[in-house]
Structure formats: C-alpha cells, structure tokens
Chain A
Amino acid sequence: MGIVTPGFHGRARSPGPQLPPGQYLTRDFPVLSAGPTPRISHERWEFTITTETDQVHSWSWSDLLALPSQTTTVDIHCVTKWSKLGTRWEGVSLDTLLDGVDTAAEYALVHAYGSYTTNLPLTDLLDGKAWIAYRYNGADLAPEHGGPARLLVPHLYLWKSAKWVRGIELLARDVPGFWESLGYHNYGDPWREQRYAGD
C-alpha cells in the first residue's frame, strides 16, 4: 500500500465486480486515438494476413461478412484507467482467419488504416481470445470506435485492440508497435497492471 493521502476517502466501496488494479468503472465509451479518424469505405476495405515467408492472405469486406461470425460479451480495460464491463461485439474469430494460414511465426504486428501499429504474441490471437469485430452493441461499428472493423483482444489493454485494422504481419521476431515504442508496455496485461515499459 502506498502512502495515505490525507482526507481522501474515495467512492463507497461496493461488492461489485472486481476490476484490474488501478482501473475505474465507466458507463460511457470514451474515444481515444492519436490522430484523425480514418474514413474507410467498405469498397476500399481489405484485411490482409502476411506470413513470415511472405504468403499473403486477404479478405474483402464481403469475404469477411461471409465468414462465420461470433458474438462475444467482454470487459474492456483502457490503459488510461477506465474499464467498461459487458460490452457486446460481433465479428470473426482470428482462429477462423488464421485457420488456413501456414506459419511458424511467434509474433504478430497489427497494422491499421492511418498507420497505427501494435504488437503481440501470436498465441494471444488464438484459442478464442481475439476477433476482427465489426458490430458493437448490435449496430455497425462507428468510425470513432474503429469501424468498419477493429481488432478485439479484450484480455490486453485496449490499445492492443487496433481500431481501423487492415492487416496482421506474422513475424519470427517481436517488433514494437506505435505505443510500445513510446513508453508503453510491450505486452499490456491489465491484471498485472503492465501499463508502461518496465512495469
């Protein structure tokens, strides 16, 4: 426990759901990004997986919609301290997208429209842990929340869930992404409070 801040009492302690350390509950859905919101039409949208041997797999918008989708209800945790519980998404599991991809890579570098990147181990995208999500709470995903489609990896801080996702590069070596190069943690597990490099 840190030093006591004199006169600070905080909110009433409720026996509510447990949050990761240092997080607080929000009911709205804050929008955070580093630059202008890209506007990507469905016609122009394409999603690509590139392997470490330069095999390219790509999906158009209609290809993506033709794949079996899943609906998932998850808690999301932003490194800026807010958490939102019970968010409902629809999208395609990365297991489905990676099913026909032959790779020995251990790392993934995720690319977004507008040049954002984020990195994570490939295993964190597998086994029902990640989706390319295109609907939120029953409606098409709004551009400011990452539409047409965003990566959803809810077990990591939300900056890993790249908005406006356009591809995943599979790599033999780990390459830091945008925030990972700017002082944020390379992995970003909210339950271990891995906010910043060295945490």
Chain B
Amino acid sequence: MTAPLRWRVAHLAAVRPETPSARTLVLQVPDWPGHLAGQHLDVRLTAEDGYTAQRSYSLAAPADGDRIELTVQRVIDGEVSPYLIDTFAVGNPVEVRGPVGGWFVWQPTQPDPVLLIAGGSGIVPLMAMVRARRAAGSRAPFRLIYSARTPAEVLYTAELHRPQPGDGGLDVRFVYTRQTASSRPPGRITAYDIASAGWPVDFRPRCFVCGPTGFVETVADILVGLGHDPRQVRTERFGPTGGPDG
C-alpha cells in the first residue's frame, strides 16, 4: 500500500504581489518530498472552533529545497482565497499536503515540443513548467499562448516579457480579450491564434491547456479541430477547483 500523503505544517516565508487580485505565497515546508511541474497541493485552513476548509492550488515553481510557491487568485466571495491574499501573514502556519496529480505534468527529460495555452490564472501550472525547463537547462522547444483580459491582469508579467537566462527556445504570445495588442483586436482566443502561435500538427507537440472551463473546452476543441492528436492534449480546469472528476 502506498504511504499516505500526510498533512504537513508549512509556514509562510515570503509573499510577492503579482496583480491587484493575485499574490504568490512562498511556503516553507519541512521535508517537502519534491514535485513535478504541473502538480498541485491541498491547503487546509482551520478556524479556532475546529471548522476547516480545504482547497487545491497549483504549484507555481520547482521546489527550492523546502520552499514551494503557490499563486493565489482572488475568487470573489471565496472563502479561502481572500484569507490567503488579505490576512495570511509571513510567519503564520498552514497545513498542506501533496504533491497531487500525475497527469497534467511535464518532466525535463521529455525532449518533444510543448505547447502551453493558459487562460487567466490557468497560467500557474504552466509557469511551473516554464520555470522547470529553465531550472533543468532543458532545450525542449516551448511555446506559450497566454490569454488574459488585459495586460494588467497578466501574472509573472516581468518574467514573461523579459526572457531569463535559460529561456532560449521559449516563445510567448499574449492574447487579450479586452484590449488591442500588436494590431490584434480584443477577443477570445481563436483557431487562428493557436495555429499561428502554436506548433504545426506534424511536430506532434504535447499540449497543456489550463484555464476556466469554457476556455479549456474551446481550446481543446480547436486543437483537435486543427488535427492535433487528442491523446497529446492534456487539460486542467483552473479556478475554484482543480484535479480529476469524471
């Protein structure tokens, strides 16, 4: 029998504001077992009367020893994300367990071309893949298409606009639904966006799509419609939930 994934007490080591509605939490987790890019973890908050709330969050970066990073996007009227953004303070403890999820993952040993398509805060697990590629010195060709409402809502904006050492072979295309960019009129992502900024079908890229449900459904349908093998298209819905259902 597999050893249980146990709850560990993590402490908030640092925070980084990302946008007005999102921040990155750097957690110190003793004996963190490591994780793959794309995996998530469960966070459990406990009130003084014993009431608990659990949520899943994608890991945003490779582990740095016992330090891991989550990026939390505020959910309007949410129960957990406003706490993690407004109240949770450096030094405070929180329980976590993970890593979880073995499907929506990229490993630096995979040399194949990769197409990442993010909608909104669905960028988080895909950014973990970009960072894992950089950290490992992988030369796997990466293309990222990132759809956001406006440039102000782009997470990791400086890092994505300014290539970092090790980011050679990574191309990034931004698509804005509410703002014109480089003569592209505002609008939802289209087959043209994906065909022009993605990989040709015969390169057989591994495609990772993450975002809200409607976005993921649309993009996955477009990829299959363009001729990509459905088995090469891995999806994850981001937002109030994450992981499998059926």
Chain A residues with CB below 8 A from B56, complex form: 80-81
**Pairwise interchain contact B244-A184, C-beta atoms closer than 8 A:** yes
Given A22-B54, A35-B230: A80 and B45 interface contact (C-beta under 8 Å): no
Residue in contact with A198 in the complex, picked from B4, B51, B101, B103, CB distance below 8 Å: B4
**Which A residues from 1 to 59 make CB contacts under 8 A with B?**
1-11, 13, 22, 24, 26, 30-38
Instruction: Give the Cβ gap from B91 to chain A, nearest Cβ, in Å.
Output: 9
Q: Does B171 count as interface, using CB distance less than 8 angstroms?
A: no
Which of B7, B93, B246 has the largest count of A CB atoms less than 10 A from its CB?
B246
Question: In the complex, what's the smallest C-beta–C-beta distance from A59 to chain B, in angstroms?
Answer: 21
Point out which of B7, B47, B48, B244 has the most chain A C-beta atoms below 10 A from its C-beta.
B244
List B contacts of A198 (CB < 8 A): 1-5
Chain A nearest CB from B14 CB (Å) reads 17
Q: Is A150 an interface residue (CB 8 A)?
A: yes
- A30 to B56 Cα, complex, angstroms: 14
- Which residues in window 81-103 of B have CB below 8 A to A? 83, 87-89, 92-95, 100-103
Residue in chain B with minimal CB distance to A77? B245
User: B121-150 toward A: CB 8 Å interface, digit per residue (1/0)?
Assistant: 000000000000000000000000000000
**Chain B contacts of A78 at CB under 8 A?**
241, 245
**A24 contact from B53, B87, B93, B224, Cβ within 8 A:** B53
A182 within 8 A of B: yes
User: Given A3-B95, A30-B213, A34-B234, is A162 in contact with B2 using a C-beta cutoff of 8 Å?
Assistant: no
Q: Please encode chain A, from 158 to 199, with 1 for each CB lying within 8 Å of some chain B CB and 0 for all others.
A: 111111000000000000001100111000000000001111
Select which of A3, A31, A157, A162 is within 8 A of B9 by beta carbon: A3
**Is B151 positioned at the interface, with any CB of A under 8 Å from its CB?**
no
Interface residues on A, range: 35 or more
Q: Is the CB of B100 within 8 A of A32?
A: no
- Whether A93 sits at the interface, judged by CB under 8 Å, is no
Residue of B with least CB distance to A197? B2
Q: How far is the CB of A14 from chain B (nearest CB, A)?
A: 11
Are A150 and B246 touching (Cβ within 8 A)?
yes
B4 and A82 form a contact (CB under 8 A): no
The answer to whether A24 touches B52, judged by C-beta atoms less than 8 angstroms apart, is no
Q: Are A11 and B245 in contact (CB under 8 A)?
A: no
| B230-A38 in contact (CB<8A) | yes
Q: Which of B23-31, B197-205, B215-223 contacts A (4 or more CB under 8 A)?
A: B215-223
Question: In this complex, what residue of A is CB-closest to B91?
Answer: A6
B residues apposed to A, CB below 8 Å: 1-5, 7, 9, 44-56, 79, 83, 87-89, 92-95, 100-104, 213, 217, 220-221, 223-224, 230-231, 233-235, 237, 239-246
List the 10 closest A-B pairs by CB distance, nearest first.
A198-B4, A182-B102, A197-B2, A32-B245, A36-B220, A80-B241, A80-B243, A159-B246, A78-B245, A5-B45
Known: A32-B242, A34-B244. 13 other contacts (CB 8 A): A2-B52, A5-B83, A5-B95, A8-B46, A10-B52, A10-B79, A24-B54, A32-B244, A118-B246, A157-B245, A162-B246, A178-B103, A197-B5
